[in-house]
Chains A and B, each alone.
Chain A
Amino acid sequence: MIQVAVEQKVLSENQRIATGLRDALEATGTLSLNFIGSPGAGKTAFLERTLEMLPTGTHAAVLTGDLQTENDAIRLGRYGYPVRQITTVGACHLDARMVEKHLLGWDLDELELLFIENVGNLVCPTSYDLGEDAKVVVLSVAEGEDKPLKYPGIFRKAELMILNKVDLLPYVPFKPELARAYARQIHPEIEIIETSAITGVGFGEWLNWIAKKADKKRASAACAPEREVVQV
């Protein structure tokens, strides 16, 4: 009997593809964000409002994941940006291979922003790296304040928490300060922005957050040797 060290990630095949995606998006200076939240947290409406408010001339694209239907791609496709639906036919998360496949044919050189809306689920998508720059967790005030404690994995990995549907606060017993405290208990550095896709509140701050990260990404791509600087 011999013991041999393997020491690799269980999802090493996913990791390999995700690393390839990350390298490709690094070279083109494309900022990629992976949106994760429960079904009904308002991810699609949030992205619709985001697309509507992006500065004219922004090169953005969206991949949206669901088990079934093209409904979200139809909704998100109304804003003039390229959108593709990833139908997982039962799988509870997106994986890097699905993302790679659905990016085929898009000119990444031109692309500044890639939004990936994951399947509505706070658990499984957490384990799969999609080559993104940051995971963004979307929590709505129609849920419980203690979601960060119940699903710590995603709140620990997300760089930003969107506290969505704040227009409903007068009608629900949700305490935003409690949700913030729980999120910071799990992840002290997590950034938090309160938004409503209905009223547009918080979207100025959100778009600034994107702009800052996108600028940084482009700057690092521009520093990389042997590539053209993508003009905004």
Chain B
Amino acid sequence: MHEMGIASSILEAVRKELLRYPGYRAAKVDVRIGEFAGVDGESVRFCFDTIVKDSPLAPLELAIKPCAGDELDLGSLELEELTA
């Protein structure tokens, strides 16, 4: 239900983070979702895939790492150099 908002927040965070790395694009983003986060990973993936493909960030892979607790955190970002 609120997973679309979560998916857009992930995209927004990636967009902001990329501003710090001119000349690079994001290939993959890692997100940790805790078992008590109240967020369904598959639903986030569905929403993410739906909105990323029409965004300037496409193609961007979402890697979901289940974990304990109530975490809903962005872990790391895999960047590749933009070719001219």
* B16-45 interface code vs A (CB 8 A; 1 in, 0 out): 010001001001010100011111000000
Interface of B is mostly: mixed
- How many CB-defined contacts (below 8 Å) exist between A and B? 85
Interface residue from A6, A14, A151 paired with B76 (Cβ < 8 Å): A6
Are B78 and A153 neighbours in the complex by a CB distance under 8 Å? no
Are B9 and A11 neighbours in the complex by a CB distance under 8 Å? yes
Is A140 at the interface (CB under 8 A from chain B)? Answer: no
Please indicate the chain B residues that have their CB under 8 angstroms from the CB of A1 in the complex.
27, 78-80
Q: Nearest Cβ in chain A — how far from B16, in angstroms?
A: 9
Please indicate the chain B residues that have their CB under 8 angstroms from the CB of A121 in the complex.
1
CA distance A123 to B29 in the complex (A): 25
Q: Nearest Cβ in chain B — how far from A95, in angstroms?
A: 8
Asked whether A126 and B17 contact (CB < 8 A) given A6-B77, A11-B9, the answer is no
* B42-84 interface code vs A (CB 8 A; 1 in, 0 out): 0000000000000000000000000000101111111110000
A interface, how many residues as a size bin?
20 to 34
Interface of A is mostly: mixed
Please indicate the chain B residues that have their CB under 8 angstroms from the CB of A10 in the complex.
6, 9-10, 13, 31, 72-74
**Residue positions of B touching A, CB distance < 8 A:** 1-2, 5-6, 9-10, 12-13, 17, 21, 24, 27, 29, 31, 35-39, 70, 72-80
Pairs A-B, 8 closest by C-beta atoms? A153-B38, A124-B2, A126-B38, A6-B74, A92-B1, A153-B36, A10-B72, A2-B79
